[in-house]
Amino acid sequence: MIVVKPLMRRQIPDVVALEREATAFPWTEKMYTDSLDAGYWGGGLCEGTQLLGVAMVSSGVGESHLLNMCIGLDQQGRGLGRLLLRGACRRALEMGADKMFLEVRAGNGRAISLYRSVGFRQIGIRKDYYPGVLNREDAVCMALNLLECTLEC
């Protein structure tokens, strides 16, 4: 059974290893540790003891921000991103948020398609937001009304 569980500090090295395989610019252990220390919600998508993906969400004043989300490279294409996103949205609602915001690399078409499919709408572009291999990459800024989410949040 695949479930979203609270991310434990001891899982952070596994999270970083998973993300290093899946993306050219992964978060560091310090970024995850600092996020948990700040009280952000971290969710690990797990099948038994195997970590399949991770999401990090900050919430406050009725809003949430999906700071990071990653599915392991060998697990992509199974619909797990949608499952993890559903868990993140549920947690945001539990924390009193009615809107969720995120930034996604302009070149990450799969992620943008996933976010759009559940109701995220583009609200702007942040020029040169992300580091890139040769040049910096723009971020697409998106927002979702959690109360109208098509994920059955």
Whether residue 103 lies in the annotated active site = yes
Length of the chain: 153
Q: Which of 32, 40, 103, 137 is catalytic?
A: 103
Answer for the pair 42, 66: CB distance below 8 angstroms, yes or no.
Answer: no
Nearest Cα to 12, choosing from 4, 80, 34? 34
Q: Is 132 left (phi over 0), alpha (psi -120 to 50) or beta?
A: beta
CA 41 – CA 58 distance, rounded (Å): 6
Whether residue 115 lies in the annotated active site = yes
Q: Which of 115, 130, 148, 152 is catalytic?
A: 115
Catalytic residues: 103, 115
